[in-house]
Amino acid sequence: MAVTIRDVAQAAGVHVSTVSRTFSAPHMVNADTRERVLAAATQLGYRPNQAARALTTGRTHNLGLIVADIANPFFPPLIKAAQAYARERGYHVFVADTDEDPQEEQELIQTLAKQVDGVVLVSPRLTNHSIERLGMELPFVVVNRRVKGLSAVLMDVGSGAVQAVRHLTSLGHRRLALLGGPRGSWTSEQMRKAATAEAAAAGAELTVIGPNSPTERGGTDAAPEVLGCRATGVIAYNDLVAIGLIEGLAARGVEVPAGMSVVGVDDTVAGRLNRPKLTTVAMPTAAAGRTAVDLLLQAVDARGNGAAAQTTLETSLVVRESTAAVRPGENPPAGAPEIAGAPAG
Amino acid sequence: MAVTIRDVAQAAGVHVSTVSRTFSAPHMVNADTRERVLAAATQLGYRPNQAARALTTGRTHNLGLIVADIANPFFPPLIKAAQAYARERGYHVFVADTDEDPQEEQELIQTLAKQVDGVVLVSPRLTNHSIERLGMELPFVVVNRRVKGLSAVLMDVGSGAVQAVRHLTSLGHRRLALLGGPRGSWTSEQMRKAATAEAAAAGAELTVIGPNSPTERGGTDAAPEVLGCRATGVIAYNDLVAIGLIEGLAARGVEVPAGMSVVGVDDTVAGRLNRPKLTTVAMPTAAAGRTAVDLLLQAVDARGNGAAAQTTLETSLVVRESTAAVRPGENPPAGAPEIAGAPAG
DNA sequence: GTGAAAGCGCTAACAC
DNA sequence: GTGTTAGCGCTTTCAC
């Protein structure tokens, strides 16, 4: 097998405990001895075995990161950032994909439990109740979800939706549509509430369409309904849905942004590369990944005590080419009574 | 702490070794006893501690997966497939991102070494020599690279490039350009060789442009050069480069596919969603992920004996909207001598 | 400041 | 078929 602490001890002419101390509590060992041990260690290419170490310390220095779908363009930047940040702090991370299956999610958590110090759950599919129960045995941080007693990082899509509505109304749009996400999505619900309120405040009409599949297909399929409600500006659940919608509209002879303004959410590469380039609500996914790891490590250190922390990350509208001023005549006929809008604030 | 094998033994009224056997060699224990042990185990919620198990067996049941950049759209499908397949076989996977840094790659491998049974290296940035050396201590599988003594999964981009050239020449294009990837890319070199040979065989001219950054920017920047060589059809190193090129051409008043045909490589979402939809060489990334894990597990089981296996995966051209027949008059004037092409085969 | 010894949770001979 | 024992690589009392 590989080189162990015993080999180093022998080579340095000290006892194993001294070698152990040199690595886990260097200040407790005489400088000279330390040098000698370190020299022997590098000479032999010794690396402490984390797994063995974990057996006595109870700290694996590993984290779990569980997402619904690695291939969904929303996740990779988050995974990348979480992994990089964890590494900086001396942790390795298991990345697992549940394929949107709650059953698999639970199984994953349980098999991972003994090998990690904590896990980050991104947009979990498990019920709050299940998560709470599992949370008793292992530190968790949830992303885009609120679970009693657990730290969470939330992305403020509500404010993003508000910005999107303002952007559209400032371009003169008065009839808006919101393409919601899948049933039960926390994000979708936040968007709906915020957009509805803001539209009302701005005196605009807003039709909510959904639930929709969070995919390109979801957008394409919704195109007829969008046209049906006579909206001139629409906010989609995410970039994929927005892109699908644009396609669906094109198939029906409506060009974006000339005939319709479309706003996405997420700011994925796909949207950035789309033509027209997508106006979208940028989600702070990388920051979310880092923050989640940060909170998790805090929770790990606190070992049960220490209150759960909630961090809300700001979103921001990125204006590109898929939105434009409403065409004259596209709004309710001049002179017709506007929908009464409650003044904001 | 959590529930251990000892608790189960006590509850079931047997000794720890019996419990151990019930989990690692069920056939070696009497059916009745086994039932009793299993009952006690589930009742207590016992799960074997993999890390402790690894200490004696030398098998961690963990794998490492090291990629250059998680956020690059090429990798997620591979990661997803590898992870899913590993899980099916009872393995968890550490995913790590080197940020294209060979130093970091090496460090990662070394710190991971003790915690995994093997690692998959995707498009490694380390030199072959370094990899060979590390390969002595740990089973490796490399993807898109050949390293002496190690199993590898290769994607046949050469054949993909040939298909792309044929597609373009069959559309009447006679002056082609190839946008290479970054310096030292195995993939890029394979493409160059294959495309050059096939173009010659088809009596077409092929200009190689590069090295280019494997990003959208790389494509945009290459636009002037592409125009300069008077090509009417171009094959880009990957989808991102292709998309960038299309943009760069548009900025110069050249529309795709009317004014220029463009073929990408990878078949990422980005290309699928681009407008015009990208004609591209589909890379079997998911299959590569699965195959890599498969080969790795074989190597792990063989423990040093067992020859290194090489698997080459086919690529295939997906024709969409970014390629079209050459415009009349765009080729060398009729009557002018064609470039002599060596007949194929 | 360093050595000796026990033990983390588990498996693997070896007895019986 | 099951119990006993030693030990995987490491940390951590406790002596000295």
Kindly determine whether residue A273 and residue B115, on different chains, have CB atoms separated by under 8 Å: no
Q: How many alpha carbons fall within 13 Å on the CB side of residue A104?
A: 14
Q: Which CATH architecture has domain A5-57?
A: Orthogonal Bundle (1.10)
- Sort residue B13 into left (φ over 0), alpha (ψ -120 to 50) or beta: left
pLDDT in tens, B128-163: 999 999 998 899 999 999 999 999 999 999 999 999
DSSP H or E run through B273:
helix B269-273
pLDDT at B327 over 90: no
Q: Which of residues 152-211 of B touch A (CB under 8 A)?
A: none
Asked whether residue A52's C-beta has any atom of DNA/RNA strand D within 7 A, the reply is: yes
In whole numbers, what is the pLDDT of chain B averaged over residues?
92
Question: CB of B61 within 8 Å of any CB in chain A?
Answer: no
Question: CB of A266 within 8 Å of any CB in chain B?
Answer: no
Q: Band the pLDDT of B324: cuts 50, 70, 90.
A: very high
pLDDT at B2 over 80: yes
pLDDT attached to residue A332? 54
Q: Is A157-283 a domain of CATH 3.40.50.2300?
A: yes
Residue A323 in contact with residue A279, Cβ under 8 Å? Answer: yes
Q: Which residues pair with A208 in a beta bridge?
A: A178
**Number of inter-chain CB pairs under 8 A, A vs B:** 122
Same CATH topology for B5-57 and B62-155+284-314: the answer is: no
Asked whether residue A151's C-beta has any atom of DNA/RNA strand D within 7 A, the reply is: no
| Type of residue at B275 | R
Residue A206, both tokens: 């807003």
Strand C, nucleotides covered by protein (CB < 7 Å): 1-5, 7-13
For residue A3, give how far its alpha carbon lies from the nearest alpha carbon of chain B (Å): 11
Instruction: Give the percent of chain B with pLDDT over 70.
Output: 94
Asked whether residue A54's C-beta has any atom of DNA/RNA strand D within 7 A, the reply is: no
For residue B78, give how far its alpha carbon lies from the nearest alpha carbon of chain A (Å): 9
pLDDT attached to residue A331? 62
| DSSP reduced 3-state for B269 | helix
**With a cut of 70, which residues of chain A have pLDDT below it?**
1, 304, 330-345
pLDDT attached to residue B185? 81
Strand D, nucleotides covered by protein (CB < 7 Å): 1-5, 7-13
Distance in Å, residue A10 CA to nucleotide C1 C1': 18
C2 C1' closest Cα residue: A18
pLDDT attached to residue A328? 78
pLDDT attached to residue A342? 38
Q: How far is CA A147 from CA A65, A127, A151, in A?
A: 17, 9, 8
pLDDT attached to residue A136? 87
pLDDT attached to residue A336? 41
Q: What is the mean pLDDT of residues B288-308?
A: 90
Cβ contacts (< 8 Å) between A114 and chain B: which residues? 2, 47, 49-51
Lowest mean per-residue pLDDT among A120-129, B179-188, B274-283, B310-319: B179-188
Asked whether residue A31's C-beta has any atom of DNA/RNA strand D within 7 A, the reply is: no
Instruction: From the options 1.10.10.10, 3.40.50.11540, 3.40.50.2300, 3.30.565.10, give the CATH code of B62-155+284-314.
Output: 3.40.50.2300
Write down the domain spans for chain A: 5-57, 62-155+284-314, 157-283
pLDDT attached to residue B343? 40
Q: Which of residues 72-131 of A touch B (CB under 8 A)?
A: 73, 75-77, 79-80, 83-84, 87, 92-97, 99, 108, 110-115
Lowest mean per-residue pLDDT among A316-325, B93-102, B217-226, B329-338: B329-338
| Type of residue at A32 | D
